[in-house]
């Protein structure tokens, strides 16, 4: 939801709304502007809630220097989708779960939302969610990362996340011998 307004238009918007505006404008590190529902931003992000309450929101676009435009677009998209989604009662998973842990399984739309992202886009979104204090989005994105590890061998995990193996052969062998049963598939 990119905002590309002329100077006059921006001036106009400020006159009409000022404090009553129901959206806030965010500016990515590369200068792109995005508009997001104020209510959703305040509800989903502790950092934005603090900025809104503290009056440090800039109508010309609040600078978020740490967040690139692609990640910010996803953040804004998530906030706007969340604002329209069915309220929290529906967050309770319908699948069999014996443990009602504080973490709630991602909803179908949240799954789809993160599934379409590339690795880089997902990682950028995790950082953005972390930076903005968006607990739910952080859980949803981290859940996606954990899904990418689930059921994989250490070699496969290293490959997916491009991690260097810093164990020596001897060290690995020692642990493997002790826990041989956990590595049937290797």
Enumerate binding residues for other proteins (CB under 8 A). 29-30, 65-71, 96, 98-103, 120, 123-124, 126-128, 130-131, 138-139, 142-143, 145-146, 149-150, 152-154, 157-158, 161, 163-167, 172, 175-176, 179, 181-185
- Closer of 13 and 61 to other proteins (Cβ): 61
Write out the E strands in the chain: 23-27, 33-37, 62-63
CA distance 41 to 142: 20
- Closer of 39 and 69 to other proteins (Cβ): 69
Q: CB 175 → other proteins: shortest distance, Å?
A: 6
Q: CB 43 → other proteins: shortest distance, Å?
A: 21
- The angle formed by the CA atoms of residues 29, 17 and 134, to the nearest 5 degrees, is 40
- Closer of 24 and 138 to other proteins (Cβ): 138
Torsion of CA 19, 20, 26, 32, to 10 degrees: -110
Name the CA radius of gyration of the chain, rounded.
21
- Closer of 13 and 68 to other proteins (Cβ): 68
């Amino acid at each position: 939801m990119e905002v590309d307004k002329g100077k006059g238009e921006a001036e106009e918007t400020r006159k009409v709304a000022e404090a009553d505006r129901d959206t806030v404008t965010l500016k990515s590190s590369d200068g792109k502007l995005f508009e997001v529902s104020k209510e959703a931003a305040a509800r989903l992000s502790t950092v934005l809630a603090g900025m809104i309450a503290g009056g440090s929101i800039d109508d010309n676009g609040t600078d978020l220097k740490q967040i690139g435009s692609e990640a910010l677009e996803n953040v804004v998209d998530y906030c706007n989708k969340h604002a329209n989604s069915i309220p929290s009662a529906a967050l309770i998973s319908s699948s069999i779960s014996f443990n009602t842990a504080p973490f709630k399984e991602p909803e179908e739309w949240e799954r789809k939302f993160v599934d379409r992202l590339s690795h880089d886009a997902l990682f950028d979104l995790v950082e953005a969610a972390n930076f903005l204090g968006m607990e739910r989005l952080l859980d949803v994105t981290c859940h996606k990362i954990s899904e990418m590890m689930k059921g994989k061998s250490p070699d496969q995990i290293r490959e997916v996340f491009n991690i260097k193996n810093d164990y020596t052969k001897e060290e690995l062998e020692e642990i493997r011998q002790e826990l041989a049963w956990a590595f049937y598939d290797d």
